[in-house]
Structure formats: structure tokens, C-alpha cells
Structure 1
Amino acid sequence: MLIVVLFNFLLVMCAVYAFARGGAPERVVAAAFVAAAAASYAVIPAKGHFHGVEVGLLLIDAGLLAVLTGVALRANRFWPIWIASFQMFALLVHVARAYQEDVLPIVYFAVISRIAYPMLLLLAIGTARHFWRVRQYGEDADWCTRLA
């Protein structure tokens, strides 16, 4: 239970920081993280979960990957690429669980739940760097104007 409280605390702190100091990419990613976390709590069963592929979580992770990939393709930042990569790894863990049924439920749970911590760290670092660039140069473009 402590790990859930810690995650929720870090999620709220990173989201508040991103909304207060970040640009549009930081705010979009923070909102996506909060929405995905809320949806995850809604679909996780009370007992006996992670003995098979958690389809609800897989769909949430796929949706989050779509949002993060969109941000990574359009944002004028490098950190969204890393976050999208971490999310792709989380999605691949679901796929691996589908193909390899003897993966222990605790391992499956640990990997898909703990991958969020480095993603939150990247969001916080990306927000701090954006805030620094705005203070240093007066502006920091949020989105690329064209795809090259």
C-alpha cells in the first residue's frame, strides 16, 4: 500500500510541476499520466490479478503509448522520445506475458508498475529544462513547425 501512496504522491507532484512550469508537451504528458493512472485504478481487479494478461491495463498502456508517441513526434524536445520508449517497453511486457504464461504474476506486476517511476523522473527533468530555457532565452518553442 505504501508503494501506491508513494506513486500517487510523485505523480501529483510531477503533474503539478509540469502544469505550473512546463510547456504544452509537458502538460499533455502530465495529463496523459494522470488519466492513465486513474483509468488503471478503475480496471485493476481487487483480487487475483496479474495471473494472465491484464487486458484493461494493456489497452490503457496502448492508448498512453499513442499519446506519448504523438507528443514525441511533434514536440521540440528529446525527453518525450525516451518516455515513449519506456512506454513501448511496458506494452511489450504485456505481449511477453501473453506468449510466456509461466512468468510469475509478481514479476509481471512489478515491471509494468515500476516502469512509471523513470517516466515521472523524465517528465520532471524535461519540465525543469523547459523552465530553465524560458528563463535563459525568454522562450522555448513547444512544437516543431514541420516534420522532417
Structure 2
Amino acid sequence: MRMAFFLAFLLVALGYAAWRGGGPERAMAAIALTMVGADKMLHAFVPVEFASLDTGHLAIDLFGATATTLLALFAHRFWPMCVAVLHILPLLAHTSRFLDVEIHPAAYLTMQVATSWLVPPILILATWRHQRRLARGDSEPSWYISSRRSIPRTANR
């Protein structure tokens, strides 16, 4: 029941972000959807096992941490930094499992999934704030774009 509630909550957040979000919010929706799809495919072929290092979820978590870190680096928003941290934390679970094989399987599972519950409300709030900026007429870029033209030139050059 808990998993169904989480997936429903996540799908609402992803749908809202895809429908009303800016570029970073839509990118986060795509990242999360990719991770959920990869998780479903993993469980279709590999039984869930938390008694040893879970290499399938490690791969999914590495993708999530890398993708959200890149999002945080290029998005002209603050919230992707928080989401990147939330996706890096499960890597600590895998590291803990790798270093200490005596960690309880329930603790390993909790360390992997607990932070994911914070992603949907952050994404909903980020999309709502984006809509508020648009309603106020604020013009804020979605992405940091480096270019030589954006560097002011001085008269001495």
C-alpha cells in the first residue's frame, strides 16, 4: 500500500512538472520517470535482495545521482541542488553495504528509499514557484549558459 501511495504521489508530481514546469522541472520529471522505469524493469528480471550489495539499484542510483547533479550544475534554480543530494544519499547505503556486510537488510532498504519520498513535494513546489514567477511576469532563464558574449568587455581590450 505504501508503494502504491508513493507511486501515485510521484506520478502526480511528474505530470504537474511535465505539464506546467520549466525546463529544469521537466528534466527532473524525465530523470525520475527513467529511474522508475529502470526499477520496474529490474524487478521484472531480478528478485529483490537486500542481504547483499544490490548492484541493480546501485546502477539506477548512480544514474540518478549523476543526472540530478548535472541538472543542479546547469539549471538556473536552487531546488536541483537539494534533489541531487537526495539522490547521492542512497549511494551511501550501497557503500555501507559494500563495506559492512553485517548491516541489516531492512536498514539497507530504508537507506536506499527513504530520501525518495522528498522528491515529489520538492518537484511540486518547484513547479508551483515556476508558475508564480511566470504569473508575475518575471523573466528568469531556465539554464545557465556560458558564452563569451555574456562577459562584459572593458575599454582597454
- In 1, the alpha carbon distance for the partners of 2:97 and 2:16 equals 34
Q: Which position in structure 2 is the counterpart of 1:86? A: 86
Please tell me the residue identity of whatever aligns with 1:52. Answer: S
- In 2, the alpha carbon distance for the partners of 1:7 and 1:140 equals 31
Please tell me the residue identity of whatever aligns with 2:24. Answer: P
- In 1, the alpha carbon distance for the partners of 2:40 and 2:94 equals 17
Alignment of 1:24-39 (within 5 A): 24-39=23-38
Q: Which position in structure 2 is the counterpart of 1:112? A: 112
Q: Deviations over 1:39-92 (max 9, x none)?
A: 112223335x11111101101110111111111000000000010011111112
Question: How high is the TM-score relative to the length of structure 1?
Answer: 0.91
The higher radius of gyration belongs to: 2
Q: Which position in structure 2 is the counterpart of 1:61? A: 61
Q: How many residues align?
A: 145
- In 1, the alpha carbon distance for the partners of 2:125 and 2:93 equals 25
Displacement of 1:103 after TM fit? 1.0
Alignment of 1:1-148 (within 5 A): 2-44=1-43, 45-46=46-47, 49-146=49-146
Secondary structure, counterpart of 1:52 in structure 2: coil
Please tell me the residue identity of whatever aligns with 2:19. Answer: A
Percent identity among equivalent residues?
A: 27
Q: Deviations over 1:76-115 (max 9, x none)?
A: 0000001001111111211111101111111111221121
- In 1, the alpha carbon distance for the partners of 2:132 and 2:96 equals 40
Displacement of 1:22 after TM fit? 0.5
Please tell me the residue identity of whatever aligns with 2:139. Answer: E
Query: Following superposition, which runs of at least 4 residues in structure 1 exceed 4 angstroms of deviation?
Result: none
Please tell me the residue identity of whatever aligns with 1:73. Answer: L
- In 2, the alpha carbon distance for the partners of 1:61 and 1:133 equals 32
Query: Which is further off, 103-112 or 134-143?
Result: 134-143
Question: How high is the TM-score relative to the length of structure 2?
Answer: 0.86
Query: Which is further off, 21-30 or 104-113?
Result: 104-113
- In 2, the alpha carbon distance for the partners of 1:13 and 1:100 equals 37
Q: Which runs of 5+ in 2 are unaligned?
A: 148-157
